[in-house]
Chain A
Amino acid sequence: MRPAVVAVPALLLLAGLLGACGVVSRPDAAAWDDQATLALTDAGSQVATARLALTSAAKERTWSPYTTVLVAEAEEAAAKAEEDLARVQVPPGRADDAAAVLDLLDRAAGLVGEARAHAVDGEYDDRSLLDDLDRLAGELQKAAG
């Protein structure tokens, strides 16, 4: 077989693949829904982790660097979930949903950040923060469906 016969389709395939990986992804409505669900699940997992880390620390079941690392990593991941979805082009007709989801993700990132601040300061026992985390985890889980 001549090399060109192989090379041309291979190049076309490569070009097609690269074309699908633009700087901004523009998914259709269904794909956007999937990504939103993914982000919400992820954020829900991070909020629950932060909560579990704080309650374990309050019961003196972990040491301070461990809690800090755990919550700091949760904070990073929650922020990443929000950023990743925020960068995806919203398909027409999903603007309201998108605003609601991004708002929820923003609150999640903020709250986990607050949890991190508490963890670093050693205040593990803040009842209202734990309740907030609990409530938000529920909301995120419900929104993810």
Chain B
Amino acid sequence: MKRYFAVLLGILTAIGGFVDIGDLVTNAQVGARLGMSLVWVVVLGVVGICVFAEMSGRIAAVSHRATFDLVRERLGPGMGLLNLVGSMLVTMLTFIAEIGGVALALQLVSSLHHLLIVPFVAVAVWIVLWRAKFSAIENVLGLMGLALIAFAVALWQLGPDWGELVSGLSPAEKPGAESWATYAFFGVALFGAAMTPYEVFFFSSGGVEERWTSKDLGVMRANVFIGFPLGGLLSVAIAGCAATLFLPQGIAVETLGQVGLPVAVALGKVGLAVVVLGFFAATFGAACETGLSTGYSLAQYFGFPWGKFVRPKEAAGFHIILLVTTVIAAGVLLTGVDPIMVTEISVVFSAVALPLTYFPILVVANDPDYLGEHVNGRLANALGVFYLVVLTVAALAAIPLMVVTSMGQG
């Protein structure tokens, strides 16, 4: 009984933890501008994150190695450092965006300017990272993140023409006013948001921290293969809400308040309250995850003790990194930069950094020295290679598309 409960809890937190500020904003933007015509990218991204999260989870369970250990062991110090710098920049951007997202969510409740809230959020995030138990962070915030299911309910309540919504899934249904370059740009952004590298850093480091063994493979797979796709469904529901309400009225999504508006229209104050709670949990949870991920990657690269299970005194370097990154993130936000814009940039740069993270995982997942009998099967390898190609194309296209479409405005 207890085991089933643990599996269920894992799945639920995976669902609630899947969506972060990047998914919230990008999906709503895309739904409002391009309708449902990019949902296939979300599906592609979710399958991709499942494939690679399963591989890194398997490596973590069998050989107790987190992702950045592998990066340096396989790529060597030079390429590994390049990788470290790239991933750190992207994760840092995401961290900034998440903290900004928490502040924006609180702004919607208090009407205080988000700049006033940022310092408090940063302190709260740091205290949680320092004091709270790893499982408490994951479970509490993951379960609260389930509040975002309100988007699915809202979509149903908005009562769209389902036939039209489904026929809009084809890329050919792209609204005529938008150019193919814009379409491609948002495609890459959605892909980056779905596959953000920090999810894998966090997932595998968490596995090492929780001391998974090969016995936990089943539970890990259930989390990944059930939790992530259901989390992806939430992303689609967000896009669907925006497509139903905003697309006909010509509203472009530029603020977090707009993202929640369809739920208010469909479900009223209670629904809105639930969804804002979901915003808070999703962004706060992701802020903790990205914050920890910066510490994990640095500590794993240089090989000093890391983790929430080691006492802070023994993992002093790790906790100093957490403190410094939190201070930097708050400092960047206090310059008055728009958190939504940071989010948009972070998902594009995520797309650029994708191959760096996922290539070493694919190689090591085939190495019997690490995995013994648990090496990749044919299907995992076929998908892995397919995604490696897709990731590379997305990474190469991301920056040119960003310039050509001036961040999707053109």
Interface residue? B368 (CB, 8 A): no
Q: Is the CB of B250 within 8 A of A137?
A: yes
Closest residue of chain A to B272, judged by CB? A62
A57-B202 Cα distance, complex, nearest whole Å? 40
Question: Among B93-101, B107-115, B163-171, B297-305, which stretch is in contact with chain A?
Answer: B107-115
**Docked-complex contact B264 and A62, CB < 8 angstroms:** yes
Q: Give, as a whole number of angstroms, the nearest-CB distance from A43 to chain B.
A: 10
Would you list which residues of chain B between 285 and 333 have a CB under 8 Å from chain A? none
Instruction: Give A34 to B409 CA distance when docked, in angstroms.
Output: 11
B336 contacts A by Cβ under 8 Å: no
Distance between A93 CB and nearest chain B CB, rounded to angstroms: 23
Residue contact B269 to A70, C-beta cutoff 8 Å: no
Bound CA span A64–B110, Å: 9
Is A130 positioned at the interface, with any CB of B under 8 Å from its CB?
no
Question: Nearest 3 pairs between A and B by C-beta?
Answer: A65-B111, A70-B257, A45-B252
A-B contact list, 30 entries, CB within 8 Å: A34-B410, A38-B409, A41-B250, A44-B250, A45-B250, A45-B251, A45-B254, A48-B250, A48-B251, A49-B251, A49-B258, A49-B261, A52-B249, A52-B251, A52-B261, A56-B261, A56-B265, A60-B269, A61-B264, A61-B267, A62-B261, A63-B269, A64-B111, A66-B108, A66-B257, A70-B258, A70-B261, A77-B254, A137-B250, A141-B250
- Distance to closest chain B CB from A23 (angstroms): 18
B245, B261, B276, B409 interface centre (most CB from chain A within 10 Å)? B261
Residue of A nearest to B249 (CB): A48
Grouping DSSP codes into helix (H, G, I), strand (E, B) and loop, the A interface class, with mixed when no group exceeds half, is: helix
- With an 8 A cutoff between CB atoms, is A115 at the interface? no
Chain A interface (Cβ within 8 Å of chain B)? 34, 38, 41-42, 44-45, 48-49, 52-53, 56, 59-66, 68-70, 73, 77, 137, 141
When chains A and B are docked, how far (Å) is the Cα of A64 from the Cα of B409?
A: 31
Separation in Å of the A132 CB from the closest CB of chain B?
16
List B contacts of A65 (CB < 8 A).
Answer: 108-111
B250 touches A66 (CB 8 A): no
Cα separation A69 to B410 with both chains bound (whole Å): 27
Contact partners of A59 in chain B: CB under 8 A: 268
Question: Restricting to B146-203, which residues have a CB under 8 Å from any CB of A?
Answer: none
Q: Among the listed B254, B261, B276, which residue makes an inter-chain contact with A53, where contact means beta carbons less than 8 Å apart? A: B261
Q: Which of A49, A64, A65, A77 has the most CB of B within 10 A?
A: A49
Minimal Cβ-Cβ distance residue in A for B252: A45
Q: Which residues of A contact B213 (CB under 8 A)?
A: none
Does chain A have a CB within 8 A of B255? yes
- Bound Cα distance A23, B162 (Å): 49
**Interface contact A69-B257, CB-CB below 8 Å:** yes
Taking the closest CB of chain B, its distance from the CB of A77, in whole angstroms, is 6
- Residues 74-120 of B contacting A (Cβ, < 8 Å): 107-111
Alpha-carbon gap, A120 to B165, bound state (A): 36
Tell me if B265 and A52 are in contact (CB < 8 A): yes
Query: For the complex, what is the distance from the CA of A101 to the CA of B250, rounded to whole Å?
Result: 18
Q: Measured between alpha carbons, how far is A137 from B249 in the docked complex, in Å? A: 9
When C-beta atoms are compared, the residue in chain A nearest to B110 turns out to be: A65
How far apart sit A89 and B111, CA to CA, in the bound complex (Å)?
A: 37
Per the bound structure, the CA–CA distance linking A48 and B253 in Å amounts to: 11
Give me 6 other A-B pairs in contact (C-beta within 8 A), A45-B254, A52-B265 excluded.
A48-B250, A61-B267, A66-B276, A69-B111, A69-B255, A73-B257
CB neighbours (8 Å) of A73 from chain B are 254-255, 257
Q: Is the CB of B108 within 8 A of A69?
A: yes
Taken together as a complex, chains A and B put the C-alpha atoms of A41 and B111 apart, in Å, by: 27
A41 to B257, CA, bound (A): 19
Q: Out of B249, B251, B272, name the residue touching A66 (CB < 8 Å).
A: B272
Q: Which residues of A contact B269 (CB under 8 A)?
A: 60-63
Query: What is the CB-to-nearest-CB distance from B176 to chain A, in angstroms, rounded to a whole number?
Result: 12
- By a CB distance below 8 angstroms, the chain A residues around B409 are 38
Bound CA–CA A16/B16 (angstroms): 48
Contacts A61-B272, A63-B269, A65-B110 given: A41-B252 contact, CB under 8 Å?
yes
Q: Which residues of B contact A77 (CB under 8 A)?
A: 254
Chain B residues within an 8 Å CB radius of A137: 249-250
